[in-house]
């Protein structure tokens, strides 16, 4: 595998809506991290989240106010059965009634309750692992997909490899509040690199994004779904990251990214015939962990109130051996700060309309194998 200069800024260009195959191939080659951390790497961009970055993040914990960023895991969730994804089914194995009746068989009056949950691992707030998406039969770091994920699960990059890693400095980019109406982006709104940079600049120094950070992007779609009903939240139209964000995601060297939507990227996708093309680049080629269906509402309100958009985040996946994704209960802990007013947000309306889409190009990278 070849290694390259991964820090070269991307040139501008165009993406042809009628040519998803070409655009994906170009982005995959330009933004490849294959070989960057060696042929045996299983961590991808989590390599950017070093011990020093965790120390930096830990220094943000002084106020002690914490926020769970997970949706409830219950039968009232957003799933509709697409590709056999259902909402959790929670069943009791032992109950208080059993204890009252003395049917549990324990001595000296002891009673208890026990339960079980049946659910797809990506039915609610979750991480996409590195074995979740392939590009033309290739998994993260150029491995053959069939050698990585078998009927026994992910034999190489299973989610358990990240169990101790995802904790550090995180930044909220509240695109919904900055670019949308009443704090929400419309379904189909494509968040471009220009939008991300503008939101970061408007929110101030605590919203700077750098190497090893975990970035959370709020669109406001979850708030709308809670108000109006789930509707097409799971797989339907949604605001999200533009395909043209691939170079930004590569160049900034972030450790992971999460959104409050079902699918992370804008839906419908930006090509005439495509399905989740940004996933096809960022997971197998950049090696980026993607979080979806995160509840950012309470955290976003607090950030808007005190003007601080950085915080300590711990978001460990459940280490299900060989899993390609995992439920997660992310916990954000805030630093104290004075209330500020984001008057500069008003200037963001000038970038709210998507600009001409740039060609996805970062630094030269290892192209995927031709098929």
Instruction: Answer whether residue 90 shows pLDDT above 60.
Output: yes
Instruction: Answer whether residue 323 shows pLDDT above 70.
Output: yes
- Report residue 133 as tokens: 């998406």
Instruction: Answer whether residue 13 shows pLDDT above 80.
Output: no
Same domain? 110 vs 125: no
pLDDT in tens, 131-156: 999 999 999 999 999 999 999 999 99
Instruction: Answer whether residue 304 shows pLDDT above 80.
Output: yes
C-alpha distances in angstroms, 254 versus 179, 192, 211?
A: 22, 16, 5
Same domain? 47 vs 114: no
Instruction: Answer whether residue 347 shows pLDDT above 50.
Output: no
Look at residue 194 and tell me if it is in a domain. yes
Judged on CB neighbours under 10 Å (0-12, 13-18, 19+), 343 is exposed
Q: Examine residue 203 and say whether the peptide bond preceding it is cis (omega within 30 degrees of 0).
A: no
Could you say which of 67, 102, 119 is where a domain stops?
A: 119
Instruction: Answer whether residue 337 shows pLDDT above 60.
Output: no
More confident: 278 or 359:
278
Same domain? 40 vs 163: yes
Same domain? 113 vs 73: no
Domain count, the chain: 2
Same domain? 92 vs 166: no
- Residue 358's pLDDT is what? 42
Q: What is the mean pLDDT of the chain?
A: 89
Same domain? 98 vs 214: no
The answer to whether 125 touches 293, Cβ cutoff 8 Å, is yes
Same domain? 106 vs 209: no
- Residue 14's pLDDT is what? 53
Look at residue 11 and tell me if it is in a domain. no
- Residue 137's pLDDT is what? 98
Q: Can you tell me the distance from the alpha carbon of 131 to that of 153, in angstroms, rounded to the nearest whole number?
A: 9
Look at residue 338 and tell me if it is in a domain. yes
- Residue 114's pLDDT is what? 97
Same domain? 151 vs 264: yes
Structural domain range at position 46 = 20-85+121-351
List phi, psi (to 5°) of 290: -120, 130
Look at residue 328 and tell me if it is in a domain. yes
Same domain? 55 vs 126: yes
Look at residue 227 and tell me if it is in a domain. yes
CATH number at residue 287: 3.50.30.50
More confident: 352 or 53:
53
The answer to whether 112 touches 99, Cβ cutoff 8 Å, is yes
Look at residue 2 and tell me if it is in a domain. no
Same domain? 204 vs 103: no
Per-residue confidence at 335, pLDDT binned at 50, 70, 90?
confident
Could you say which of 75, 102, 119 is where a domain stops?
A: 119
Instruction: Answer whether residue 24 shows pLDDT above 90.
Output: yes
Same domain? 130 vs 263: yes
Helix (H) or strand (E) holding 202: helix 193-203
Mean pLDDT of 14-18: 76
Look at residue 250 and tell me if it is in a domain. yes
Could you say which of 103, 119, 135 is where a domain stops?
A: 119
Look at residue 7 and tell me if it is in a domain. no
- Residue 81's pLDDT is what? 87
pLDDT in tens, 198-253: 999 999 999 999 999 999 999 999 999 999 999 999 999 999 999 999 999 999 99
- Residue 15's pLDDT is what? 66
Instruction: Answer whether residue 5 shows pLDDT above 60.
Output: no
Instruction: Answer whether residue 118 shows pLDDT above 60.
Output: yes
Instruction: Answer whether residue 370 shows pLDDT above 90.
Output: no
- Residue 54's pLDDT is what? 96
Same domain? 216 vs 160: yes
Instruction: Answer whether residue 341 shows pLDDT above 50.
Output: no
Query: Dihedral angle at the C-alpha atoms of 303, 49, 167, 246, nearest 10 degrees?
Result: 60
Residue with tokens 């170079």: 247
């Amino acid at each position: 595998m070849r290694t390259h200069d991964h820090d070269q800024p991307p040139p501008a260009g165009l993406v042809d809506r009628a040519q998803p195959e070409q655009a994906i191939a170009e982005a995959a080659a330009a933004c490849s991290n294959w070989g960057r951390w060696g042929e045996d790497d299983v961590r991808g961009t989590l390599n950017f989240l070093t011990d020093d970055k965790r120390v930096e993040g830990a220094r943000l914990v002084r106020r002690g106010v914490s926020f769970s960023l997970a949706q409830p895991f219950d039968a009232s969730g957003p799933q509709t059965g697409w590709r056999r994804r259902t909402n959790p089914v929670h069943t009791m194995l032992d109950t208080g009634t059993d204890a009252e009746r003395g049917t549990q068989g324990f001595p000296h009056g002891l009673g208890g309750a026990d339960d079980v949950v049946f659910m797809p691992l990506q039915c609610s707030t979750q991480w996409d692992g590195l074995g979740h998406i392939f590009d033309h039969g290739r998994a993260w770091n150029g491995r053959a997909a069939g050698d990585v994920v078998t009927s026994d699960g992910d034999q190489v990059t299973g989610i358990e490899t990240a169990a101790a890693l995802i904790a550090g400095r995180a930044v909220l980019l509240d695109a919904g509040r900055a670019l949308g109406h009443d704090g929400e982006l419309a379904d189909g709104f494509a968040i471009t690199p220009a939008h991300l940079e503008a939101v970061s600049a408007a929110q101030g120094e605590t919203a700077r994004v750098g190497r090893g950070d975990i970035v959370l992007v709020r669109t406001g779609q979850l708030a709308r779904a809670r108000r109006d009903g789930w509707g097409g939240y799971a797989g339907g139209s949604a605001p999200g990251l533009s395909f043209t964000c691939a170079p930004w995601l590569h160049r900034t060297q972030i450790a992971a990214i999460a959104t409050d939507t079902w699918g992370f990227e804008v839906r419908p996708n930006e090509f005439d015939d495509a399905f989740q093309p940004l996933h096809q680049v960022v997971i197998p080629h950049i090696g980026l962990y993607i979080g979806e269906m995160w509840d950012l509402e309470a955290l976003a309100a607090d950030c808007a109130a005190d003007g601080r958009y950085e915080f300590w985040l711990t978001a460990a996946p459940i280490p299900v051996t060989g899993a390609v994704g995992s439920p997660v209960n992310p916990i954000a802990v805030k630093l104290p700060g004075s209330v500020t007013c984001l008057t500069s947000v008003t200037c963001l309306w000038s970038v709210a309309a998507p600009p001409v889409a740039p060609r996805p190009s970062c630094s030269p990278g290892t192209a995927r194998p031709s098929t």
